[in-house]
Structure 1
Amino acid sequence: MGKNMASSLLLLMAALLFCAELVSSHVNIEDHPTDSQVVKGPNRRLMAFVDCGAQCKVRCGQHSRPKICLRACGTCCSRCKCVPPGTYGNRHLCGRCYTDMVTHGNKPKCP
């Protein structure tokens, strides 16, 4: 084996060790949620991450029927990626997705 071939082999082994170290020390993405997520489908776009559970709990905190409010809020949040601030009103701040969603009875769905 020539000197040139031996140095190439050492370089290749060093590169493989480096790659193995990178793979073994990778960070799991689920352990560290990002601030955004990709929406799949024909209209792909990057949308901000929203903690629907926590924000809906605040939104429905003073509602007379909190379980129904939480269910509707969770659906609206997962579809629109937004929950209006406060416990009432401000629906326009989440845009048309949130304001235009209606129930089967043609009433506003999102709290």
Structure 2
Amino acid sequence: MAKLSCFSIAFFFLALVFAIEVSHVTALDATAAKYRPTGGEGSLRPEQCAGACDFRCSATSHKNPCLQYCNQCCQKCLCVPSGTSGNKEECPCYNNWKTKEGGPKCP
């Protein structure tokens, strides 16, 4: 009887941990989806740029410059491409803004 009780407690604990993990992942997905623009140029309001750029720059090891340039580009273009890299064709303004040297300005 004691083994059944320990098994039941262990099963309950594992089910609880799983439920917490699933809800945490769902919350992260919902937060990320909130900052994934889908409308292209002009699809964001200026106050949404910080969140969109936080997501855009989340995978880089050069976070500060990425955030600086992303926010600058977002304020001008009101668009940030989806994902943490690539997809710049979604935002032509963001994609076509170049540095003095001719390289991409926006991350």
* Fold shared, TM-score > 0.5 on shorter chain: yes
What CA distance in whole angstroms lies between the structure 2 residues aligned with 1:62 and 1:79? 23
**5+ long unaligned stretches in structure 2:** 1-41
Residue 49 to residue 91, structure 1, CA distance change in 2 (3 Å): same
Match in the other structure for 2:106: 110
Higher alpha-carbon Rg: 1
Query: What TM-score comes out, normalization by structure 1 length?
Result: 0.54
State the 4+ residue runs in structure 1 displaced beyond 3 angstroms: none
Greater length-normalized contact order (CA 8 Å, ≥ 6 residues apart): 2
Could you tell me how far 1:99 is from its partner in structure 2?
A: 1.1
Partner in structure 1 of residue 57 of structure 2 = 60
Calculate the TM-score normalised by the size of structure 2. 0.56
Which consecutive residues of structure 1, in runs of 5 or more, have no partner in the other structure? 1-45
Counterpart code for 2:95: T
Q: Does 1:83 align with 2:80?
A: yes
Give the length in aligned residue pairs. Answer: 65
Give the Å deviation of 1:60.
0.3
Structure with more helix by fraction: 2
Cα distance in 2 between the residues matched to 1:89 and 1:60: 12
